[in-house]
Structure 1
Amino acid sequence: MPTLKLTQFSGEVPRLLPRLLADTASQNAVNVRLEDGSLTPVRQRKFTTTIAGLAAGSIRTVYKNGAEWLAWTTDVDAAPGPVATDRLYYTGDGAPKMRVAGVVYPLAISPPAGALAGSVSGSATSSDVTTLLYVYTWVTSFGEESAPSPASNFINWQPGQTVTLSGFAAAPAGRSITKQRIYRTQSGNVSSGLYFVAERAASSANYADVVNLSAAQEPIPSIDWDPPPATLQGLTALPNGLMAAFNGKDLMFCEPWRPHAWPEKYVLTTDYPIVAIGAFGSTIAVLTTGNPYVVTGTSPDSMSMEKVEQNIPCVNARAVVDLGYSVAYPSNDGLAVISSSGASVMSDALFTRSDWQKMSPATLIASQFAGRYFASYGYVDTDGRPQTGSFLVDMTGQTPFLLRTNLKADALTYDIPTGAMFMLFGNEVYEWDAVGQSNATLTWKSKQFVMPKPTNFGAIFIEAGGTRTPEEQAAYEQQIADDNAWNAAHFPNPSIEGEVGGAAVGAYAVGGDLMRRANDRPFVSVNIYADKKLVANVSTLNRVARLPAGFVARVWEIEVNSNTQIAEIGLATNAQELALI
């Protein structure tokens, strides 16, 4: 006799008809992990912090900088700097910036604008004449050095004479400039090199140089350290002290270990405007409004750029995600991926182009969680109904699959040190699937199992995945305590919002109200559908339950709702057959 046994569970493949799905796949997979083959619910989100000073709904970017939470009303890309001290660099909030100990500085250090003027004094001890040129640079309290000023006038100097330099500008405010460094040529030609003369506290006072041409000095390091353009975007950290960003069609690199300096000599230019960039290893995925590019190299002066001969434009910078082993991004045709294996539209196995377009990929907000692509969406379907939520795409196996949650975030951020993903709702930040929280309720609906001929399944066995861990039990007990405290605080209110018109439509389930229902018992509700009609609901765990008789059907489906792990589900015509499958 026919039997069904589910011992492994997988996610959605929306492209396929329900009856064509693999036996492990689902029509609907909500709030479920699917990390070990069982049905395991995700944990409840955990409140983390409230963003102060910005109106709810106006925030587009949140970022966890150590213990500090930062937020912006623009699309910001932030990355820790490859320097000894704790500095955060970011673009997207006006001109590029650097944040140190809570203080924000412009990233650019403009070189001194005016040239020095030099004059000689004193008696010459030789008739030999050397022509000299001088420049100076700014130096910040963080050890950053600017590009040099314009060269001074030609100064004809003879041994025994002193060169007096004037025209030093006062140090500009706002960049913590504390020192000046003075350099000179040895032969009156800048191309022959500029060499260190002296460093002093930033001052507009004149400087007297007692020239000693025989003294060996270091050459200037910052001769071509151009400041970053004010329109720099997409800041991304790379290995070997590098950072990359873009400006229009130009891909730019900082001087190694010098994030304030972006020499124009390192620029690589694409055919189409750049939308976003991402990195995996020492490879950069450059995503444009046309073809993507792949850039490889370990030094900015040896970067190699290759155009990917596939028309996979990026349509949304907010949904570009570094997955560690690849970069995923939304294109017109689907979710595209660039990795060491090349570029492809990975979601071809999940969505038709039409279905992907219905989800409004240009408005997705994405991050990563546990190596999966996590995206929040909001769009209006063809019937005029708003659709909101989030989906996760697992690309780690041979066949990708989709998971869902009904939560839609206003912004997402992934914290590398903790491996946690955070979701912004209004101005409140929550951790997704937080350790220590009680389980959410999962929903998982099987494929349509089409029997060779009409049959009746008379028995079902639902096996729980095991007892709770001490961590899970502690979370449930804490949830009960929190719910009881909430109820005690709100029960004396004039209304608990359960009466007709007491709350906004959809705020609570039918018959619900403000009160929280504390329940630490494992919950399961399994619906059985026969020829698309609900024929049974079973809430029995770890023992056989009977199903209705008196009918037969060809198409059978199983829908699970549970807050506990489910390891196996079996259906058979009777209890004896269940023992044999």
Structure 2
Amino acid sequence: MRIKQNVFSGERPRVASPISREYEAQIAENCDLSRGHLRALKNNARIENLTETGDVQSLYLWKKSGDDEWIAHTSALDFCRSPLAGEAHDRVYYAGLDEPRVLSTSNLSVPFDFSTDYYKLGVPAPTAAIDSLTGYSGGGSGYRAYIYTYVVKLGTTDAEEGSNSTIAEISDYTSGDVTLGGFTAPPTGRSIGKIRIYRTASSSSGVAEFLFVGEFDTAGVDFSSYTFTDNVSDADLGEAFACENWSVPPTTLSGLIAPDGGSLAGFVGNRVYVSEPYLPHAWPYSYPVDGTIIGLGHIGNTIVVLTDESIYLMSGQADALSTQKIPGRYPCSSKASIVSCENGVFFASPEGIVLVTLDGPTLYSYEYFTQQQYSDNYSPSAIRAAFYNGQYIAFHNNGAFAINTRDQSMVRLSAPLDAAAPHISLSDSRLYFVYKDVEGVNAIYEFADDDAEDYMQYRYRSKEYILPGMSNFSAVRVIRDVSEFQAINTEAFESGADGVVNGEEVNAGVINGDGTARTYLGVMFRLYGDGILLHEQEITDDQPFRLPADNLYRRCYYELSGDTPIDEVAIATSMEELDAA
């Protein structure tokens, strides 16, 4: 009789272990099973300390020209990169504070200060019309109407234009220049640096439209006395005004996302707000749903609206989105659990992890755990998630787990219990999070750092095997893959310093590190019979070894712990059976 395992998969707690698949585990912790063999995950690497001392809820890496900036905050913020192709100012849009805001390389201090280096998102319309129109010859029947707008300037670039003021009219125009006065000064905090003026002219169809007259910079202007002279003939008027109803987003906008198609979207209460495509400062559209919105995701250019009751899909052009309510009750438990990815939109519900696609929702975690297991062990309302390397990784109050969508396996992670603010950097697809150490210092860590030379300690407990009768296994062989670790050990031994490799401290700042130079190649093997530990032995080579002969049991499983890759485990009732075909 022999047990042989050379394919290793993750956990499926929903299924009683004796009837699980041969290659599934009771416990798979810190395991990389992506190649079918048992590997340890690379260790988490400490990137840098933060000055923020509170409980961090948000983390973002602003990739920009020059030095990159880490942003950490105690509020739940939503960040989106600019949807504009060829973005010249590295703009990032975010919501969750007093109003939606924009970061831009044109508004930076040295050093960067997140609390001040921003401007408010959106360009408001002037609050009053031009109140003085003079200098022209009157008495005729000519008609002119004027409006003006504010323009955001980023450096020397006219970047964003807002909606118009109310109309100022002349109904007796005959001829001459018109002097305009009484402009309203723009509000502060929005990087407004210019005013544009438009006036009516009759089109070939006889329809009046506002055409560009001129503009002036607002810097240094005394608005109590400033005047602008319109001496432009009808033939020389410029482009038509195109920014009508380009309102600013609500100050309490939340859940900011960037679906495909160039628009941004967010929500307030039960209403979804959408910007003009590729004009993220202009927010003329909104659409209501039933229930209170918890958060948003997207599948391509389809907005997935997750509420405390149901799921809605919004699709189409920004100015005419159609809303489809998905049948069934699918409440969202945690805004921080929402992840938009290649598979669709994942989120935590009271019943489990749900995946929404254009075909509808499915309870994705059904194959892995029951609703009771989920609610007892994974604190659904506290899940903070990210999609990393094909995995939905969920940090919760009791640790973390990862569901691999490519090989349909689940592993648990020995992440710090209070790991916070998971963030995927879009530029390098790496996963970062914040952890507060025992000294109360918040620091940024990279999850399973690809560049790390050390590994987490895995723990792998096999399925439970029910034997034909009371039995006793007598021989074991564990085959390791030591090729990578032999090189690491050689370097460590040749360094001649305890805890140092090439002059650098090993495991410095790594959560799972112990601060001393470690040698690899060893694995701890344990055999359990009827729930009792029967044998424990460190494996340092691939040679078979014998088990005690004085135990009889009906049920058994084995456990491996360490950081060395494992290709195969064989357990048999005799040495000869280990090599049986």
Aligned partners of 1:344, 1:32: CA distance in 2, in Å?
A: 26
2:525 partner letter: V
2:534 partner letter: V
Distance 1:459-1:122 versus aligned 2 partners, 3 A rule: closer
Distance 1:400-1:163 versus aligned 2 partners, 3 A rule: same
1:284 partner letter: I
The reply on whether 1:395 has 2:405 as its aligned counterpart is yes
Q: Which residue of 1 aligns with 2:413?
A: 404
The reply on whether 1:372 has 2:391 as its aligned counterpart is yes
Aligned partners of 1:191, 1:114: CA distance in 2, in Å?
A: 25
User: CA shift at 1:351, angstroms?
Assistant: 1.9
- Equivalent of 1:60, from 42, 46, 57? 57
The reply on whether 1:244 has 2:273 as its aligned counterpart is no
Contact 1:479 1:518 in 2 (8 A): no
Aligned partners of 1:5, 1:171: CA distance in 2, in Å?
A: 75
Contact 1:62 1:412 in 2 (8 A): yes
1:553 partner letter: Y
Contact 2:134 2:180 in 1 (8 A): no
Unaligned stretches of 5+ residues in structure 1: 379-387, 490-507
Distance 1:165-1:216 versus aligned 2 partners, 3 A rule: closer
User: CA shift at 1:165, angstroms?
Assistant: 1.5
More moved, 288-297 vs 561-570: 288-297
User: CA shift at 1:98, angstroms?
Assistant: 0.3
2:32 partner letter: R
Aligned partners of 1:327, 1:479: CA distance in 2, in Å?
A: 48
Aligned partners of 2:291, 2:494: CA distance in 1, in Å?
A: 54
Q: Which residue of 2 aligns with 1:565?
A: 565
| 1:114-513 mapped onto 2 (5 Å cutoff) | 114-123=128-137, 129-142=141-154, 143-152=159-168, 154-186=169-201, 192-202=208-218, 203=221, 204=223, 205-210=226-231, 212-263=233-284, 266-297=285-316, 299-358=317-376, 359-378=378-397, 388-397=398-407, 399-408=408-417, 409-426=419-436, 427-437=442-452, 438-468=454-484, 483-484=499-500
Contact 2:489 2:520 in 1 (8 A): no
Aligned partners of 1:80, 1:24: CA distance in 2, in Å?
A: 42
Distance 1:280-1:560 versus aligned 2 partners, 3 A rule: same
User: CA shift at 1:123, angstroms?
Assistant: 4.1
2:246 partner letter: W
User: CA shift at 1:216, angstroms?
Assistant: 4.9
Aligned partners of 1:536, 1:464: CA distance in 2, in Å?
A: 19
Contact 2:46 2:444 in 1 (8 A): yes
User: CA shift at 1:303, angstroms?
Assistant: 2.7
Aligned partners of 1:211, 1:404: CA distance in 2, in Å?
A: 70
Aligned partners of 1:470, 1:220: CA distance in 2, in Å?
A: 70
Aligned partners of 1:208, 1:482: CA distance in 2, in Å?
A: 80
The reply on whether 1:110 has 2:124 as its aligned counterpart is yes
Q: Which residue of 1 aligns with 2:91?
A: 87
TM (norm. structure 1) is 0.87
Distance 1:478-1:316 versus aligned 2 partners, 3 A rule: farther
Q: Which residue of 1 aligns with 2:508?
A: none
Contact 2:331 2:349 in 1 (8 A): yes
Could you report, residue by residue, the CA deviation over 1:121-174 in whole angstroms, capped at 9, with x for unpaired residues? 3446xx86222221101111131111111111x312434233221111233332
Matched position secondary structure for 2:577: helix
Matched position secondary structure for 1:186: strand
Contact 2:527 2:535 in 1 (8 A): yes
Matched position secondary structure for 1:129: strand
Aligned partners of 1:135, 1:278: CA distance in 2, in Å?
A: 38
2:253 partner letter: L
Contact 1:376 1:391 in 2 (8 A): yes
Contact 1:480 1:518 in 2 (8 A): no
Q: Which residue of 2 aligns with 1:47?
A: 46
Distance 1:402-1:310 versus aligned 2 partners, 3 A rule: farther
Distance 1:481-1:149 versus aligned 2 partners, 3 A rule: farther
Contact 1:436 1:472 in 2 (8 A): no
Distance 1:105-1:120 versus aligned 2 partners, 3 A rule: closer
Q: Which residue of 2 aligns with 1:505?
A: none
Aligned partners of 1:515, 1:43: CA distance in 2, in Å?
A: 15
Aligned partners of 2:18, 2:279: CA distance in 1, in Å?
A: 58
Could you report, residue by residue, the CA deviation over 1:397-442 in whole angstroms, capped at 9, with x for unpaired residues? 4x45343324230221111211111121121111111123201110
Distance 1:374-1:482 versus aligned 2 partners, 3 A rule: farther
Distance 1:82-1:488 versus aligned 2 partners, 3 A rule: closer
Q: Which residue of 2 aligns with 1:494?
A: none
Aligned partners of 2:559, 2:163: CA distance in 1, in Å?
A: 66
Could you report, residue by residue, the CA deviation over 1:216-268 in whole angstroms, capped at 9, with x for unpaired residues? 531112111011110111111122322111121111111122111111xx322
Distance 1:480-1:418 versus aligned 2 partners, 3 A rule: farther
Percent of aligned positions that are identical? 27
Matched position secondary structure for 1:356: helix
Q: Which residue of 2 aligns with 1:69?
A: 70
Q: Which residue of 1 aligns with 2:113?
A: none
Contact 1:30 1:405 in 2 (8 A): yes
Distance 1:373-1:555 versus aligned 2 partners, 3 A rule: same
Aligned partners of 1:341, 1:546: CA distance in 2, in Å?
A: 55
Distance 1:224-1:482 versus aligned 2 partners, 3 A rule: farther
Matched position secondary structure for 1:95: coil
Matched position secondary structure for 1:434: coil
2:430 partner letter: A
Aligned partners of 1:89, 1:343: CA distance in 2, in Å?
A: 29
Name the count of aligned residue pairs. Answer: 539
User: CA shift at 1:112, angstroms?
Assistant: 1.2
Distance 1:150-1:17 versus aligned 2 partners, 3 A rule: same
Unaligned stretches of 5+ residues in structure 2: 109-116, 437-441, 506-510
1:317 partner letter: K
Distance 1:425-1:475 versus aligned 2 partners, 3 A rule: farther
Aligned partners of 2:76, 2:62: CA distance in 1, in Å?
A: 16
TM (norm. structure 2) is 0.87
Distance 1:191-1:96 versus aligned 2 partners, 3 A rule: farther
Q: Which residue of 1 aligns with 2:114?
A: none
User: CA shift at 1:210, angstroms?
Assistant: 2.7
Matched position secondary structure for 1:19: helix
User: CA shift at 1:391, angstroms?
Assistant: 1.0
Contact 1:38 1:465 in 2 (8 A): no
Distance 1:481-1:13 versus aligned 2 partners, 3 A rule: farther
Distance 1:431-1:350 versus aligned 2 partners, 3 A rule: same
Aligned partners of 2:48, 2:194: CA distance in 1, in Å?
A: 40
Aligned partners of 2:36, 2:577: CA distance in 1, in Å?
A: 24
1:80 partner letter: R
Q: Which residue of 1 aligns with 2:522?
A: 523
Aligned partners of 1:186, 1:478: CA distance in 2, in Å?
A: 84
More moved, 209-218 vs 67-76: 209-218
Could you report, residue by residue, the CA deviation over 1:422-468 in whole angstroms, capped at 9, with x for unpaired residues? 12112111111112320111001011011122222111110112410
Distance 1:470-1:72 versus aligned 2 partners, 3 A rule: farther
Aligned partners of 1:467, 1:164: CA distance in 2, in Å?
A: 83
Could you report, residue by residue, the CA deviation over 1:310-344 in whole angstroms, capped at 9, with x for unpaired residues? 21111110111123321111111111111233201
